Structure 1
Amino acid sequence: MEKKPTKAQEMHQVELIIGQILRIGVVLSATVISIGIIMMLIQGTGGYPNGVQPNSFGAIFSGIVQLKPFAVIMLGLFLLILTPTLRVAVSIYAFAVEKDHLYVWITTVVLIILLVASVIGYMGR
């Protein structure tokens, strides 16, 4: 018969997952940014005229398909910004497992603020 993990063991597991998310997010974004910089050094250009940069998801992904270095760098920056937001989302789950309803609500409000600020920033470009 298999023993059910204790609440402390579950929380430790969630904390390990959160730490892994942060590490993977930072390493992945740094790798993508480094690839973009290497592409820029090889091509000798960012792929866009001076003063022009991809400033929407569509433009970034279109630039990546066209192998434009600056679009790859922008993707890396987007991943870097997304990493702590994902951490907040996973923290909601962690607090729910602990049955800490106050922190579930507080963390949910923080996530909503992050998402609203991101949308406002995106729309205000």
Structure 2
Amino acid sequence: MEDKEKAEILKIERSIGYILRIGVIVSATIILIGMILLFFQPSTAQAPNSLPLIFQGLMQLDGQAFIMLGLFCLILTPVLRVVVSIFAFAKEKDYLYVAITIIVLVILIIGMSLGLVEK
């Protein structure tokens, strides 16, 4: 029984590692695309600083919008890791860590929300 639990924990840890790796690779790729677009189409406009402006810029193939989307993805990668950790701890029936991780997620969400208000 203990070997099965260790194998399951190892599987969860690998999944979390894959999430972090994929998030960084996707973010870097999006940022690289934005840098290439900026190289061929330099922009003097202000970088988009909200999701609607970013998506509008993506439709116009604005390099700054791609870079901002890549940074947004990079910021969301550890948040996704926290969400996956909640499910991992719940699966392990480690409810103390589920509660602690939920508190961390709430703090992250509050921090991001306050950051949006401060612009």
TM tier relative to shorter chain:
over 0.9
Whose helix proportion is higher, 1 or 2? 2
1:7, distance to aligned residue in structure 2 (A):
2.1
Q: When the two structures are aligned, how many residues end up with a matched partner? A: 117
Which residue does 1:94 correspond to in 2? 88
User: Where does structure 1 lack aligned partners over 5 or more consecutive residues?
Assistant: none
Which residue does 1:25 correspond to in 2? 23
User: CA deviation digits over 1:18-65, x for unaligned, max 9?
Assistant: 00000000000001001100111111x13x52xx22111000000000
Instruction: Identify the structure with bigger relative contact order (alpha carbons < 8 Å, sequence gap 6+).
Output: 1
Identity over the aligned pairs, expressed in percent?
51
Query: What is the TM-score normalised by the length of structure 1?
Result: 0.89
Query: What is the TM-score normalised by the length of structure 2?
Result: 0.93
Q: 2:38 aligns with which of 37, 40, 60?
A: 40
RMSD of the TM alignment (CA)? Answer: 1.2
Q: Which contiguous aligned blocks of 4+ residues in structure 1 show a shift greater than 4 angstroms? A: none
1:98, distance to aligned residue in structure 2 (A):
1.3
Distance (whole Å) between structure 2 residues aligned to residue 123 and residue 28 of structure 1: 27
Distance (whole Å) between structure 1 residues aligned to residue 53 and residue 65 of structure 2: 8
- Pairing 1:79–2:77 present: no
1:97, distance to aligned residue in structure 2 (A):
1.2
